[in-house]
Each structure stands twice: as C-alpha cells, then as structure tokens.
Structure 1
C-alpha cells in the first residue's frame, strides 16, 4: 500500500510539474510576445499608401516622454497642424506601435483636428516589462490625456480612437477610470480577454486543455499581478455614457466580430455600428478607406457636433 501511495504521489507531482512548466511557457508568450519591427511597419504602411512620411515629418509636432505611473516613460507625439482645441487620441493594437496609427493621423488631421499618438506599454520606444492588454495600459492612456490637457489647455475637446488592444484599453479607461472624452471609436475590440485568449490558444495548440489554461491564468496572475477576467470591456461598457462608434469586420479571423456585437448590444445611450464585409483583423480602414472616413465623419458630426473639413488636404 505504501508503495502505491509513493507511486501515486510521484505521478501527481509529475503531472503538476508538467502542467506548471507548460503554463509558465504559455504565460511568457502572453506577456512577452514578439513585437513587429518599426522598419517593417513603415514599409507596410508606405507600400499600402496609407502613410506619407514626408507629410508626417513636416507636420508641426511635439515629441514628449510622459512619465507612467509604473516607472517608465511613455513615448508620445502630439501633432498640431491646426489652430483648434479639437484633438483625437489614437491607440494602436498589439505588437504594433504608434507608427501604425499614421493612417488615422492623416485622416483626422485632414478633417481639421490635431492628434496624439503614443507607443503602448512595452511597445515601440515606451518602457514596461510586460504587456497586459489594457489592464495597466489604461492608466498610461490616462497619463497621456492628463499631459494633453496640461500642455494644450483644460478647455480642449477630444475623442479617442483605438483598434484591437487599443480599443479594449480605451473602453476599460472609459468604463473604469474616466469619462472625459466626448466620444469613442472602437475598432475590433475583444469583449472578454479570457474568451479571446482561450480561443486563440485552443486554435494553435492541442495542449490548451482546461487544466493547462487554468494553470496558465494562475501563473499569469502571479507574475503580472492581474487577472485576465478583469480584462472585460463588456463588464463596464454600460458605464460609458458618451457615444461610441463600433467598427468590426465580419471576416475578422483573430477577434470575431461577435465580440463587438455583444459590446454594442450592452452599450446604453448613443451608439452606432458598422460591420464591413471586407478585411481581416483591423483591416477595415485598409480595405474600405472612403467608407471608413465617411462613417467616422458622420458619427462625429452627429454625436459631437464637431465641424469636419469636406476637402482632403494633407
């Protein structure tokens, strides 16, 4: 009997060791995923004719390092080509950086607004050890907005545009921290990070069983000090009183557009949605530029009352 108990203990210990090892590796992939190189993003956006480096280079701007509440600097660029107090704050997606937001800088400055772009935690030139998909990033957004008001006046009016992780960060900021923006534009946000993460891991690995996922989420909490279940824009979406424009391609293979459908359904008050038929994840602008702009423009005019330029000057 004692021998059986010893073998049973060894078996359990071995299983736990294997589960912990696999889960530790998986949590590392979540925290420290590979980032896209800046040169690759520039080449991609330039070839796609979505970014004009010469225009961005000559546009009046301030590059600032904003202190994060977590001990690192947030690299940001404030584009101010117009004498206006209307600003757009732009948040990029996971593995990208602020250069990815250049196409939106062109679009919004073309409409007559100034823009703020910045590298998210651990991305681009911003510090930070790990990525948390909006949990700590929402506080960095708060710091950027505080600097925006401090630098350009407390009377500024601003909206926020985010895609993918940037959209989720924006919604968490609005639902948990502050409701200062006049409107929000959410492009391809997840509704619950736990569901998104489970779906991704189960699609790429047969080891993504319930026990492995449980240990992964547990180790992730121990290492990054947050629970993935706290990353749920859908839990706070009904706290956002301001208008939200939801955009999500129906053919998105990474974050299903049903996530945005759920967010839209739960959102109270003014809202608008557009679900284009073309484009994969955060490709709605790339595939439907004219429709994207007209949808955003009509939303801003209707819900914020901001004047929008009718010509396309860059």
Structure 2
C-alpha cells in the first residue's frame, strides 16, 4: 500500500511538473514568438507583386516615432498622396510589420484616401517586451489615432482596417475605448483568444488541452499582467456603434471563419459580412483582389458616404 502511495504521489508530481513546464513554454511562445524579418517581408511582397519599393518610397509620408503610454515608441508612417481629410488606419497581423500592410496602402490609396501604417507592440521598429494580441495593443492604436487627429487637420475622418491580431485589436479598440471612426473592417479576427488557443492546443492533444490552457492563463497573468479571457472581441463587439465589415476566408486553417460568423451575429446595428471561398489565413485579398476591392469600396460608399475613386488596380 505504501509503495502504491509513493508511486501515485510521484505520478502526480511528475504530471504537475509536466503541465507547469508546458504552461510556461506555451506562455513564452505566445508572448515572445519569432517575428518575420523586415527584409523577408519585402522580398515576399515584392515577388508577389503586392509591393514596389520604388513607388512606395516616393509616396509623400512622415515616418514618426509616436510615444506609447507604456514607455516605448510606436513606429508609424503617415502617408498622404491625396489632398483629403479621409484616412485609413491599417493594423497588421501577428509576427508581421507595417511593410506587410503595403498592399492595403495601395488598395486605399487607389480609392483616394490617405493611410496610416504602424508597427504593433514588439513588432518591426516599435518597442515593447511582449505581445498581448490586442490587450495592450488597442491602447497603441488609440495613441496613433490621437496623433493623426492632432497633427493632420481638425476635420479628420478615418476608418480602421485590421487583419488577424490587427483585426482583434481594431474590434477591442472600437468596443472598449472609442467610437470615433466612421467604420471598421475586420479581416480574420478571432472571437475569443481563449478559444483560439484551445483550437491550437487541441490539434496536439484533446485530453491535455484544458490543463495546458489553465497553466497558460496563470503564467500569462503573472508574467505579462494580462488575462487571455479579457482578449475577447466578441464580448465588446455589440458595443460598436459604427458599421463593421467582417471578412474571413472559409478555408482559413489557423482561425476558423466561424469565429467571424460569431462576431457578425453579435454585432448590433450596421454591418456586412463576406466569406470568400479562396485563401487561407489573411489571404482573402491576396487570392480575391478584385472582389475584395469591390466589397470594401461598396461598404465605404454605403456606410461612410465617402466617394471612392475608380482608379482601381486590375
């Protein structure tokens, strides 16, 4: 009996050590994941003909370090090829940087709008120790928008476009902090960060997933002071008064498009949805450029009342 008790105790201790280790490892991967190098992004976007650096460099712009409330600088580019008070603030996805948003700069520039792109917390040239998937990032988005309003005209009108983590950040900003934008475009957001982690963990082990998620929650709370339960756009999307266009490709294997369906259903007031058949995660524009442009331009014209120029790329 004693030997059995010792064996059982050893088993429990071993299991606890294993799950604690997995929780610590998982929280490290979440907070400090590997970022894509800027030069790699340049080569990828150039080869795909979504970026022409010579054309991009010629665009009139101000490259600014905007002070974050968290003690680091936010690297932002305010791009103004048009004499207009209408701007689009663009938020990139996880592991990317502001150059990844060049395709959207081209999209909105061709529609006649000015653009803001910036590196999210810990990404590109922006400071910050860890990534929090919208928890702290939404405040940096608010700071960039405040800088835009304070420095580029008293009559600024703006919309916000975000993809993946940037889409979640956009919805959290709109639902928790401000409703100043004319509209929001959410491309491939998760509904709940907790569910997204569960989706990833379950692909490795259905049995261990809930326990690893618990220890991940504990370590994130201790190490970064944020709760994964508070990174939940679906909890605040019904508070967004402005129109929202929800986009999500049906073949997204990283964030299931059903997450965006849930967000759309919860959103009150003006909203639209589009779920293209082609494209994996954040590839809706890459794989369906003409349809993407048409969907976005019609949404902006209908809900913001902005005149969209017709010089769209073929």
Give the TM-score band, short-chain normalised. over 0.9
Aligned to 1:136: 136
Q: Shift of residue 208 of structure 1?
A: 4.0
Pairwise mapping of residues 1-314 of structure 1 onto structure 2 (< 5 A)? 9-204=9-204, 208-312=208-312
Question: What whole-Å deviation, never above 9, does each CA across 1:212-257 have from its counterpart, x for those lacking one?
Answer: 2211211111111111111110110000010001111011111111
Q: Distance in 1 between matches of 2:100 and 2:2?
A: 63
Q: Shift of residue 193 of structure 1?
A: 0.6
Equivalent residue of 2:236, what SS?
helix
Question: What whole-Å deviation, never above 9, does each CA across 1:170-198 have from its counterpart, x for those lacking one?
Answer: 00000001111000000000001100111
Question: What whole-Å deviation, never above 9, does each CA across 1:100-151 have from its counterpart, x for those lacking one?
Answer: 1000001111111100000000110101111000000000000000100111
TM-score (norm 1): 0.96
Equivalent residue of 1:89, what SS?
strand
Q: Distance in 1 between matches of 2:121 and 2:92?
A: 11
Q: Distance in 1 between matches of 2:78 and 2:208?
A: 42
Question: What whole-Å deviation, never above 9, does each CA across 1:252-292 have from its counterpart, x for those lacking one?
Answer: 11111111111111111111111111101110100111111
Question: What whole-Å deviation, never above 9, does each CA across 1:14-73 have from its counterpart, x for those lacking one?
Answer: 332222112111110111111111111111111111112111100000000011111111
Q: Which runs of 5+ in 2 are unaligned?
A: none
Q: Distance in 2 between matches of 1:246 and 1:44?
A: 26
Aligned residues: 314
26-35 vs 202-211, greater mean Cα deviation: 202-211
CA RMSD of aligned residues (A): 1.7
